[in-house]
Amino acid sequence: MIRLSVSDLESLRYWRANEDADLASLIQRLMHLEPPTPVMKAGRAFAKLMENAPQGELTEMPIDGWVFRFELDAELSLPAVRELKAEVLFETPSGPVTLVGKVDGLHGISVHDQKLTERFDAERYLDSLQWRAYLSMFGAREFVYDVFVGRYDGRVVTINDYHRLPFYAYPEMRADVQKAVDDLAAVYMEHVIPAAERTTEAGAA
């Protein structure tokens, strides 16, 4: 049984869209060997902040060595159900695949995901397989990106803008996700598993 994540689907899509990216970088990413960048670490800290955010006003919050300052006037409804994992089985030509993922929030048939970015670019999210996969996995109708725009000053992130970006389920969405899982499973069988075996053998030698 192959176990793949929604992030892996995005890694393959991103790699295909980037002509300069070589196969080695994709394999490394799918093997989860890349160390997290400071931006990724900040994103994780921010996700943790949102997961535990209480009701009320939030102006500044230190968490995991980062400080998030909110210099904006906005209201946000956070779902009561936060950080929810899901697994769905897909049958593919490469064998059965368990697709795993975790959403930041679930409110009925709406899925929420918080993003921290330095520049808001709506089109960046449009082609994403993330919202398609999660809508399919949770049987949901709406996927909302809560996009926070911030600027970095060392380990202080000042958030000065917020965008709510919703996407909706559409008729052939499940087929699109199935196709993406099929493609990823084929890449995984052909490239990632042999690379992992080589790494194991080299370690044992």
- Which residues of this protein are in contact with another protein, per CB under 8 A? 53-59, 70-81, 106-109, 139, 141, 159, 162
Question: How far apart (Å, rounded) are the C-alpha atoms in residues 150 and 43?
Answer: 11
Residue (24 or 109) nearer to another protein, CB: 109
Residue (81 or 126) nearer to another protein, CB: 81
Question: How far apart (Å, rounded) are the C-alpha atoms in residues 167 and 143?
Answer: 5
Minimal distance, residue 37 CB to another protein, in Å: 25
CA atoms within a 13 Å half-sphere pointing along the CA-CB vector of 81: 12
Bridge-partner residues for 156, per DSSP? 67, 153
Residue (34 or 71) nearer to another protein, CB: 71
Question: How far apart (Å, rounded) are the C-alpha atoms in residues 23 and 19?
Answer: 11
In this structure, are residues 2 and 184 in contact, taking their beta carbons and an 8 Å threshold? Answer: no
Minimal distance, residue 6 CB to another protein, in Å: 19
Residue (134 or 162) nearer to another protein, CB: 162
